[in-house]
């Protein structure tokens, strides 16, 4: 549980509000358990008021009166000078004390690790017959599946791009999720796969093929047998279905969804949902031809 004592220890806050919650989350999110959120913009009050999971909320002095009126008596109002800074500073302290920061690294004896690779001493699991090539970096949070290959110079589990502007300066947010590489998946040279964040792990399914110089941001989920060509940028919390092909230099914005068997053409910029079996191209990406429900072969994704 997270209480006012944790907030006080992390941020130096001194107040008389009391709360006990299961986790931290944005004030409008409902993870199914009691949360502590924050509000520094009145536009988000309606969503917070409708959220049954919101048990306590950090608010600024400017929002206190309106928050008490809109949120009711069942939600504990905690007044702080900068809700965003207090929320993420508390998040950082909790994340740094998490199990992935302390558990010993486990490498299966049948894994092949090049002497020039770096494997973090804590929080890594590498399964049988996995291969880690020279100058690859495998950081805490990484879960490398059986028979997976991490090519030379790639980085698995790097902190993602999550920074907050606050009244006390820019605050970098600690990543606390896992980075899962599925069985027999290959991650190309100089590719980065960011660590999971805010209870959403980064996941690459089984039998994926990721080319060189690809960026996969925190919390993205790739299904099985996904092919990603070089130079692609997959932004945070993206969902990509099984058997998808993504062409060279494509960009997928955060939280976009790509359906099973879809194809994203070279250089496309994907802003909206891509239907299963669709083929999209351009900036912004649009359907270039009728959907093709026939699954493409793994041996030749272009057939």
Q: Could you report the per-residue pLDDT of 153-165, keeping only the tens digit for each?
A: 999 999 999 999 9
Q: Could you report the per-residue pLDDT of 244-270, keeping only the tens digit for each?
A: 999 999 999 999 999 999 999 999 999
Give yes or no: residues 113 and 228 share one domain.
yes
- Residue 294: inside a domain, yes or no? no
- Residue 298: inside a domain, yes or no? no
Q: Could you report the per-residue pLDDT of 99-131, keeping only the tens digit for each?
A: 888 899 999 999 999 999 999 999 999 999 999
Residue 249 CB contacts under 8 Å (≥ 6 apart), including other chains: 229, 230, 231, 232, 266, 267
For the chain, give the mean pLDDT: 93
What is the pLDDT averaged over residues 39-50? 92
Backbone dihedral angles phi then psi of residue 179, each to the nearest 5 degrees:
-125, 105
Give yes or no: residues 235 and 190 share one domain.
yes
Q: Please report the pLDDT score of residue 101 as a whole number.
A: 82
Reading phi first (left if > 0) and then psi (alpha if -120 to 50, else beta), residue 45 is in alpha
Give yes or no: residues 246 and 128 share one domain.
yes
The token pair at 82 is 């900068």
Residue 26 belongs to what domain range? 2-96
- Residue 153: inside a domain, yes or no? yes
- Residue 302: inside a domain, yes or no? no
Cα separation, 266 vs 78, in Å, equals 49
Q: In the β-sheet with 269-270, what is the strand arrangement from edge to edge?
A: 118-119, 137-138, 155-158, 192-194, 215-216, 233-234, 251-252, 269-270
Residue 75 CB contacts under 8 Å (≥ 6 apart), including other chains: 54, 55, 56, 57
Give yes or no: residues 51 and 127 share one domain.
no
Cα separation, 251 vs 199, in Å, equals 24
Examine the fold and report which residue of 41, 62, 96 is the final residue of a domain before the chain moves on.
96
Residue showing tokens 């110079």: 153
Examine the fold and report which residue of 96, 125, 142 is the final residue of a domain before the chain moves on.
96
Give yes or no: residues 278 and 188 share one domain.
yes
Q: Given a cut of 60, is residue 5 above it in pLDDT?
A: yes
Examine the fold and report which residue of 37, 66, 96 is the final residue of a domain before the chain moves on.
96
Query: Strand pairing of 125-126 and 35-39?
Result: unpaired
For residue 20, list its beta bridge partners.
3
Residue 221 CB contacts under 8 Å (≥ 6 apart), including other chains: 202, 203, 238, 239, 240
Q: Could you report the per-residue pLDDT of 65-78, keeping only the tens digit for each?
A: 999 999 987 899 99
Q: How many domains does the chain have?
A: 2
Separation in Å, CA 92 to CA 24, 51, 87, 100, 196: 11, 24, 9, 14, 14
């Amino acid at each position: 549980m997270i209480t006012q004592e944790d907030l006080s220890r992390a941020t130096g806050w001194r107040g008389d509000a009391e709360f006990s919650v299961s986790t931290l989350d944005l004030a409008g999110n409902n993870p199914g358990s009691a949360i502590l959120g924050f509000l520094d913009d009145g536009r988000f009050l309606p969503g917070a008021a409708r959220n049954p999971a919101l048990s306590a909320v950090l608010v600024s002095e400017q929002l206190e009166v309106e928050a008490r009126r809109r949120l009711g008596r069942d939600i504990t109002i905690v007044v702080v000078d900068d809700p965003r800074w207090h929320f993420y500073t508390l998040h950082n302290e909790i994340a740094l004390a998490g199990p992935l920061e302390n558990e010993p690294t486990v490498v299966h004896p049948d894994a092949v690790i090049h002497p020039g690779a770096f494997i973090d001493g804590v929080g890594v699991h590498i399964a049988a017959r996995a291969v880690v090539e020279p100058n690859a970096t495998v950081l805490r949070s990484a879960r490398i599946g059986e028979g997976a290959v991490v090519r030379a110079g790639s980085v698995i589990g790097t902190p993602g791009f999550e920074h907050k502007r606050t009244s006390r300066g820019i605050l970098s947010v600690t990543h606390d999720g896992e980075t899962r590489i599925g069985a027999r998946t290959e991650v190309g040279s100089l590719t980065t796969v960011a660590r999971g964040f805010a209870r959403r792990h980064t996941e690459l399914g089984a039998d994926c093929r990721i080319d060189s110089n690809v960026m996969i941001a925190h919390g993205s989920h790739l299904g099985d047998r996904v092919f990603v060509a070089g130079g692609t940028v997959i932004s945070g919390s993206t969902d990509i279905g099984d058997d998808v092909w993504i062409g060279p230099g494509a960009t997928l914005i955060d939280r976009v969804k790509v359906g099973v068997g879809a194809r994203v053409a070279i250089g496309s910029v994907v802003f909206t949902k891509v239907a299963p079996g669709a083929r999209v191209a351009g900036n912004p990406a649009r359907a270039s031809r009728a959907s093709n429900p026939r699954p493409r072969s793994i041996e030749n994704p272009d057939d």
